[in-house]
Amino acid sequence: MIALFARDIRLATRAGGGFGLGLGFFLILCTLVPFGVGPSGATLALIAPGILWVGALLACLLSLDRIFALDHEDGSLDLLATAPIPLEGVVVIKAAAHWITTGLPLVVAAPIFGLLLHLPAIAMPWLVAALLIGTPALSLLGAFGAALTVGLRRGGLLLSLLVLPLYIPTLLFGAEVVRRGMVDAAPLTPLAFLGAITLLSCALVPFAGAAVLRVNLR
């Protein structure tokens, strides 16, 4: 399992691996929004929590179809399914590797992007905390969607349509944490819900993902 994790991280960081793709997308979004909305700090601060979370969500979506599709194309997935590690473990490891390569860089870089959008300094810790707790759910739910569409050619559109509704609770509570953090009004409540969503996907996705992979590999 550690071998699989190490391989996925190594593949992502080598040429053509897509590491930084999500980060670049996030950067583009956060620099373009002020141009579109106008330079008024008050307006930007108002929409910053929503923009930051929508950006994180779309950046995550961008690389989802790579989770299983590449391994399916070159035959690794068939071989992994016949290997002595459980398919549930493969799903968890793949989701974890996806989070390390797309979610974690976003968490680390989020304060800079918050600055671009005039997010008040008082909300910064809440932004980082919300992304840290919420983005694993994005990777896990995305891994389930990727497992569901693995056999399809150009399954990206279907994958986005399937996964987006699952992302909505995370988006709602995630943006709410940052919004409440700005006005210092009990952000812990939505943060607890965010944590609950992540834990729930942690518990369900490995089994659901492995089950749909088995059906798709037939």
Partner 1 sequence: MSLLSVQDLAVARGGIRAVEGVTFAVSQGEALILRGPNGVGKTTLLRTLAGLQPPVAGTIEAEPDAIAYAAHADGLKGALSVAENLRFWARIFGRDKIDASLSAMNLTDLAERPAAHLSAGQKRRLGLARLLVTGRKVWALDEPTVSLDTASVGLFASSLRAHLAQGGAAIIATHIDLGLPEARMLDLSDLRAQPGRAARPAGFNEAFA
List of residues contacting partner 1 (CB under 8 A): 2-4, 7, 10-11, 14-17, 71, 73-76, 78-85, 215, 217-218
Task: Between 28 and 79, name the residue whose CB sits nearer to partner 1.
Answer: 79
Supply the minimum distance, in Å, between the C-beta of residue 78 and partner 1. 6
Supply the minimum distance, in Å, between the C-beta of residue 119 and partner 1. 37
The length of the chain in residues reads 218
Task: Between 47 and 81, name the residue whose CB sits nearer to partner 1.
Answer: 81
Closest CA to 99 of 12, 190, 1: 12
Q: How many helices (H) and strands (E) does the chain have?
A: 10, 0
Q: Is the dihedral of CA 54, 58, 17, 136 positive or negative?
A: positive
Task: Between 71 and 176, name the residue whose CB sits nearer to partner 1.
Answer: 71
Q: Are 93 and 1 in contact (CB under 8 A)?
A: yes
Supply the minimum distance, in Å, between the C-beta of residue 206 and partner 1. 18
Task: Between 79 and 108, name the residue whose CB sits nearer to partner 1.
Answer: 79
Q: Give the whole-angstrom CA distance, residue 116 versus residue 4.
A: 37
- 30-52: string of b/e by CB count within 10 Å (b at 16+)? beebbeeeeeeeeebbbebbbbb
Supply the minimum distance, in Å, between the C-beta of residue 1 and partner 1. 9
Task: Between 1 and 32, name the residue whose CB sits nearer to partner 1.
Answer: 1
Q: Give the whole-angstrom CA distance, residue 93 versus residue 5.
A: 6
Q: Give the whole-angstrom CA distance, residue 150 versus residue 52.
A: 29
Supply the minimum distance, in Å, between the C-beta of residue 161 and partner 1. 19
Task: Between 19 and 99, name the residue whose CB sits nearer to partner 1.
Answer: 19
The DSSP call for residue 180 is H
